[in-house]
Amino acid sequence: MAERPIVIYGDPVLREVTQPVGEIDREVKDLVSDMVDTLKSARGLGLAASQVGAAKRLFIVDLTAIDVNGSLKVFINPEIVETEGEIEMEEGCLSFPDMYLKITRPERVKVRATDLDGNRFEMSADGVSARAILHEYDHTQGKLFVDYLSPLARTLIRGRLRKLAAAS
């Protein structure tokens, strides 16, 4: 299909709680196809629909760049069923170019969603896969990875965030 521009921090769509996807029609399939092209071009691990300006409750995760056994997964109307543990790791976001921050998240996650063929599925993930799922799920809720920072850490990056917001 085609790449779409990635929405940068400061755009209000990133703070929107997304709308559930109803029918998985041509529009949704085209959106996912565009998201795949966009993600591959950006060399990211995940992308939420809101990051390309569509406030729909869906995201994709593609760990093939770091895991030869990985595959691209589509999560439509995802729900986090449970989380377990806690781990701090460096994390980035395509909507925050060149910004990498240490973020604490659950170590394991169980998620329920629908795939592009309309099949409901449930999967468990840990490590980078869990982190990517949780990060992209947050986008569907209007939450950003900088929201996990302490007030002090947020103060330290305030100038960088202002520059991003001004450029968007």
Domain positions in the chain: 12-167
Kindly report the CATH number that applies to the domain delimited by 12-167: 3.90.45.10
Q: How many CA atoms lie within 13 A of 27 on its CB side?
A: 6
Catalytic residue of the set 3, 27, 88, 136: 136
Tokens of 27: 């529009």
83 CB burial (10 A radius; 0-12, 13-18, 19+): middle
| pLDDT tens per residue, range 70-109 | 789 999 999 999 999 999 999 999 999 999 999 999 999 9
Residue 136 is among the residues annotated as catalytic for this protein: yes
| pLDDT tens per residue, range 101-124 | 999 999 999 999 999 999 999 999
For the entire predicted model, the pTM comes to 0.94
With b for 16 or more beta-carbon neighbours within 10 A and e for fewer, the 70-79 pattern comes to: eeebbbbbbe
Pairwise CA distance, residues 160 & 17, whole Å: 24
Phi, psi of 9 (to 5 degrees): -45, 135
Tokens of 74: 């589509």
Q: How many CA atoms lie within 13 A of 21 on its CB side?
A: 30
> Residue 68: which pLDDT band, with cuts at 50, 70 and 90?
confident
